[in-house]
Chain A
Amino acid sequence: MNGAQYIVQTLKQQGVTQIFGYPGGAIMPLYDALYDGGVEHLLCRHEQAAALGAVGYARASGQVGVCMATSGPGATNLITGLADAMLDSIPVVAITGQVPMAAIGTDAFQEVDVLGMSLSCTKHSYLVENVENLGDIIAEAFEVARSGRPGPVLIDVPKNVQVALVEPRATVPCTTAPNALDEAALAKARAMLAEARQPILYVGGGVGMANAEAELRAFAERSGIPAVTTLKGIGTLNPDHELFLGMLGMHGTKAANLAVQQSDLLMVVGARFDDRVTGKLDAFAVNAKVIHLDKDAAEFGKVRQAHVGIDAELQQVLPRLTGEHLAIDAWRDQCKALKAEHQWRYDHPGEAIYAPLMLKQLSEALDDTAMISCDVGQHQMWVAQHMRFTSPRNHLSSAGLGTMGFGLPAAIGAKLARPEHESVLVSGDGSFMMNVQELGTLKRAQLPVKMVLLDNQRLGMVRQWQELFFDGRFSETILTDNPDFVAMAAAFGIPGETITRKEQVQPAIARMLQADTAYLLHVRISEEENVWPLVPPGVANDQMMESKA
């Protein structure tokens, strides 16, 4: 067998059943091996979408996502997707074709230094110099991608390695041993929890990545600590729990931000004090001590000093913390009162469609297994605020990188990961156009992905900032020249409709969900709506703006 066939065989041994990619010269031997290799491959219409498709697949399934591309422009197009996976700790393995070893460094046709480019946007990367190493490298790459703090790994395979003959052998199984729990730190954390009067559980995406939702929910229930999540932590906690205060940070709930600001202990689990979370850092929860649990010890003290940092598998450490219900009844009452006082309001005047209400209605029309992918901007924040999630696997949002164009490929990847569940995209008119070519992928694969396009004819989130912080100088954010989106979908054989008034919303959602094909629901919304509340730049999180002052 040749190197390319060896790659396909090793991928199958790793349990890979779905690949996202795009062919080209330097990866043709691998595409030849895929022709009858027994692994599904989805032809995306842009390598960025192949990488983001793999991200969506990984996020929805918890498995490693796999994408591939040719050398040069194919590989450079993957980079945004890898950076997205890097910042959100998503396990992805990318395979790129490369010019033959002898041509590397000669400025050959479609040669770029992919290994060099990958250094800053992957957890690790390889250039395979010898076909004998191929199997072990792939096995190691999968282990690196999914172990510890997960992330993307790139394998660059020169064409001569793909065609070289090789005697396949069993790959060395590769596992990472967990490190022992730091008992002294654990004891200190327990003591801090017992002493705290106003503790808050601050939950990030790391919990879902570690499959530790059950352990976290049990801890939250046992201890009775009021809880908040980050954007990526959404779905990790029971959304209906009386002590769950919602998302914190720039567009978080007022209850969450006020409670965090008043807390005397932050128990941070799988989160990293992102600047969208903390606002003005030296004014963030100033009276709080910090217990930080994470699989990545480099997060301890990176942004905020921890009094105790515990580097451990969250599944193991959470059951070891606090057996008792903490005596913090007054604080619980205070948090419940904050939550009651700052409920969302949906009583919006007029006939026009109010996006937050529409998303709430969409959420109510779906069951708990539905996967929502979104793009980046106002609609992304409205999804986080107004839709209800019971698992982080159901909320696919580009949190760390904020990648416009993420949504459609992620929704496609999610649908392939969990075909039995509904995959719904919520996009904006700006973001949708960034990977709109993937309508072709939907057509090709006949995937029934449901698309809700919230069209404000603006780059809404940027327009909002221009309105609030740049004197209303709307520089390059007006999109009144958008295409006819429904006609565009129709060109790909995808049915759809446009709605403009509140009373059309529920029947249109029903029609969309009843369709057994892909569907585009194009929703015209006001160009002036803003996302509230908002922590303006440079102030503390309790100084939230609630509407234009």
Chain B
Amino acid sequence: MNQHNLQIEAQFRPEVLERVLRMTRHRGFRVDDMEMSTAADCQSLSIRVTVSSERPIQLLSRQLEKLMNVTRVETHLMEQPLKQSA
């Protein structure tokens, strides 16, 4: 099980967080940790999620990149994984 950090930039839409989380679950990734913040002008937001899965992270990042309101996705392998719940 690999753990990755995803940094996601998106245009602000009320449903963007839902889209990202739905995609993450459906493509087989578990959310271990996450935070979200909205830019001062309320036009954009950024989401940081830590996910774990047996599947290669590109399977998720490429799908996330296709979401209309998502503008950028970066992935980082977690060298020291967060403590995972069982």
Give me the interface of A with B, judged by CB distance under 8 Å: 115-116, 119-120, 123-124, 127, 144, 296-298, 300-302
CA distance A183 to B62 in the complex (A): 21
A115 to B19, CA, bound (A): 10
Cα–Cα, bound, A127→B16 (Å): 12
Contact status of A120 and B22, CB under 8 A, knowing A298-B63, A301-B58: yes
Known: A120-B22, A120-B26, A301-B56. A115 touches B15 (CB 8 A): yes
- Quick one: closest B residue to A305, CB to CB? B56
Partner of A298, one of B22, B26, B66, B68: B66
Subset of 13 A-B contacts with CB under 8 Å: A115-B15, A116-B15, A119-B15, A119-B19, A123-B68, A124-B68, A127-B15, A144-B68, A297-B62, A298-B59, A298-B62, A298-B65, A301-B58
Q: With a CB–CB cut-off of 8 A, which chain A residues contact B19?
A: 119
Report B53 CB to chain A, min CB distance, Å: 14
Per-position binary interface string of chain B over residues 47-71, scored 1 when its CB falls under 8 Å from any chain A CB and 0 otherwise: 0000000001011001101111000
Complex Cα gap A144–B68 (Å):
9
Q: Closest approach, in angstroms, between the C-beta of A113 and any C-beta of chain B?
A: 10
Q: By the criterion CB–CB under 8 Å, are A302 and B22 in contact?
A: no
B contact residues around A115 at 8 Å (CB): 15
Most buried by B among A115, A119, A123, A127: A119
- Indicate if the CB atoms of B59 and A302 lie closer than 8 Å: yes
Verify A119–B58 contact, CB threshold 8 A: no
Q: Does B18 lie within 8 Å of A119, measured CB to CB?
A: yes
Nearest CB of chain A from residue B49's CB, rounded to whole Å: 17
Are the CB atoms of B18 and A116 closer together than 8 Å?
yes
Q: State how many angstroms separate the Cβ of A249 from the closest Cβ of chain B.
A: 23
Q: Which residues of A contact B18 (CB under 8 A)?
A: 116, 119
Which residues on B sit within 8 Å (CB–CB) of A124?
67-68
How far, in angstroms, from A296 to B63 measured CA to CA in the complex?
Answer: 9
Would A296 and B15 be within 8 Å (CB), given that A119-B22, A120-B22 are in contact?
no
Task: Tell me the minimal C-beta distance from B80 to chain A in angstroms.
Answer: 27
Interface size of B as a range: 10 to 19
Contact status of A296 and B68, CB under 8 A, knowing A119-B22, A120-B26, A302-B59: no
Which residues does chain A contribute within 8 Å of B67, judged by CB atoms? 124
Return A280 CB to nearest CB of chain B, in Å: 19
B residues touching A (Cβ–Cβ < 8 Å)?
15, 18-19, 22, 26, 56, 58-59, 62-63, 65-68
User: For the complex, what is the distance from the CA of A229 to the CA of B26, rounded to whole Å?
Assistant: 29
A127 to B19 CA separation, bound complex (whole angstroms): 14
CB distance from B14 to the nearest CB of A (A): 8
What residues of chain A lie closer than 8 Å to B62, measured between beta carbons? Answer: 297-298, 300
7 further A-B contacts with Cβ under 8 Å, apart from A120-B22, A120-B26, are A119-B18, A124-B67, A124-B68, A296-B66, A298-B65, A301-B58, A301-B59
In the complex, what distance in Å separates the CA atom of A115 from the CA atom of B15?
8
| B62 CB to nearest chain A CB (Å) | 4
Which B residues are in CB contact (< 8 Å) with A297? 62
Query: How far apart sit A93 and B4, CA to CA, in the bound complex (Å)?
Result: 36
How far, in angstroms, from A144 to B66 measured CA to CA in the complex?
Answer: 11
Chain A residues with Cβ below 8 Å from B56 are 301
Rounded to whole angstroms, the CA-CA distance of A123 and B63 in the bound complex is 11
Return chain A residues, CB-CB under 8 Å to B59: 298, 301-302
| A301 contacts across to B, CB distance below 8 A | 56, 58-59
CA distance A296 to B62 in the complex (A): 9
How far, in whole Å, are A296 and B59 apart by their CA atoms in the complex? 12
Q: How far is the CB of A96 from chain B (nearest CB, A)?
A: 15
User: Considering the complex of A and B, which 9 residue pairs feature the smallest CB-CB distances, nearest first?
Assistant: A298-B62, A124-B68, A298-B63, A119-B22, A297-B62, A119-B19, A298-B66, A115-B15, A302-B59
Shortest Cβ distance from B2 into chain A, in angstroms? Answer: 15
**In whole angstroms, how far apart are the Cα atoms of A144 and B15 in the complex?**
18
A140 and chain B: residue at smallest CB distance: B68
Name the CB-closest residue of B to A129: B14
Taking CB as reference atom, which chain A residue is nearest B66? Answer: A298
CA–CA, A301 and B19, complex, Å: 23
CA distance A116 to B67 in the complex (A): 15
A296 to B18 CA separation, bound complex (whole angstroms)? 22
A299: nearest residue on chain B (CB-CB)? Answer: B62
Residue of A nearest to B15 (CB): A115
Chain A positions within 8 Å of B63 at CB level: 298
- Quote the shortest CB–CB distance from B68 to chain A (angstroms): 4
Taken together as a complex, chains A and B put the C-alpha atoms of A223 and B53 apart, in Å, by 41
B15 to chain A: which residues have CB within 8 Å?
115-116, 119, 127
- Name the B residues within 8 Å of A296 (CB-CB): 66
Residues of B within 8 A of A144 (CB): 68
Q: Shortest beta-carbon distance, A176 to chain B, in Å? A: 11
List residues of chain B with CB within 8 A of the CB of A298.
59, 62-63, 65-66
